[in-house]
Amino acid sequence: MFGERGYVGGTTDAIARAAGISQAYVVRTFGSKESLFFAAGQRAADHVEAVFREVIEGFTGDESADERERRLGEAYGALVADRGVLLTLMHLFTLGHDTVFGPLARESFLRIYEIVRDDAHMSPEAASLFFARGMLINTLMGLRMPEVESDQPYAHELMFFGLGDKCHEIMESGTYALADAEAGRV
């Protein structure tokens, strides 16, 4: 829900309805909406971190730089299937001005960047380009570009260069159904 509507727009009522519980219980369980979003942001960043660490642990040490980047990119593409993770992070990354979420947002972003730089041993050029592609993918998800892709040649082109030749497979594996079904306004 936060991935779809952001922090302010993701009401505890909509979250409760999606979870099939009462609004009061959502607040009571997490203490406040702020704590809930903080936990959701942390969880999303932890998930991306874990996925990257798993890929890196699979390295033998004699992969080329291109091969390391390819494998991390493939893992990121797989994350697209769960829209919520990447879109929640994207919303967190717009909260740099916030005294509570700003520090979490910057720490989360830099923590993952450090893993790519230090553990995956990617060069500054390669790492920044890797993150740039990731942010483009996030943006295309937020735009729901995959849904209109068939009508727009350039939309397809962007998805293709973001996700490679598996873009159709990846896109069709994910869905926004939960957020759509439970939210008032589609």
Partner DNA sequence: GTCTATAGTTCGATAGAC
Partner DNA sequence: GTCTATCGAACTATAGAC
Q: Which residues bind DNA (CB under 7 A)?
A: 10-14, 20-25, 27-29, 32-34
Give the integer Cα–Cα distance in Å for 186 and 181. Answer: 8
* Cβ distance to DNA smaller for residue 31 or 103: 31
Site membership for its own copies, residue 124 (CB under 8 A): yes
| Residue numbers 59-88 binding its own copies by CB under 8 A | 87
Give Cβ neighbours of residue 49 (< 8 Å, ≥ 6 apart): 111, 112, 115
Evaluate whether 142 touches 88 at the Cβ level (below 8 Å): no
Between CA 12 and CA 128 the distance in angstroms is 36
In the complex with its own copies, which residue's Cβ is closer, 26 or 141?
Answer: 141
Q: Considering CB under 8 A, how many residues would be counted as binding its own copies? A: 54
With CB under 8 A as the contact rule, the residue among 18, 51, 136, 178 that binds its own copies is 136
Spatial separation of the C-alpha atoms in residues 102 and 110, rounded to whole Å: 12
**Interface with its own copies by CB under 8 A: which range of 21-29, 44-52, 57-65, 121-129?**
121-129
- Do 182 and 93 meet the contact criterion of CB atoms below 8 Å apart? no
Question: Is residue 131 within 8 Å of residue 114, measured between CB atoms?
Answer: no
Among positions 34, 54, 67, 180, the unique one binding its own copies when judged by CB under 8 A? 180
Cα diameter, the chain: 54
Out of 22, 129, 169, 175, the only residue in the binding site for its own copies (CB under 8 A) is 129
97 binds its own copies (CB under 8 A): yes
Q: CB count, 10 Å around CB of 53? A: 14
Residue positions counted in the chain: 186
Given the complex with DNA, which of 11 and 128 has the nearer CB atom?
11
Judged by beta carbon distances under 5 to 8 A according to partner kind, the member of its own copies, DNA, none in contact with residue 165 is none
Backbone φ, ψ for residue 121 (5° rounding): 55, 45
State the residues that interact with its own copies by CB under 8 A.
4-9, 87, 90-91, 93-99, 102, 105-106, 109-110, 113-114, 117, 124-125, 128-129, 131-133, 135-136, 138-139, 141-145, 147-148, 152, 154-155, 157-158, 161-162, 176, 179-180, 185-186
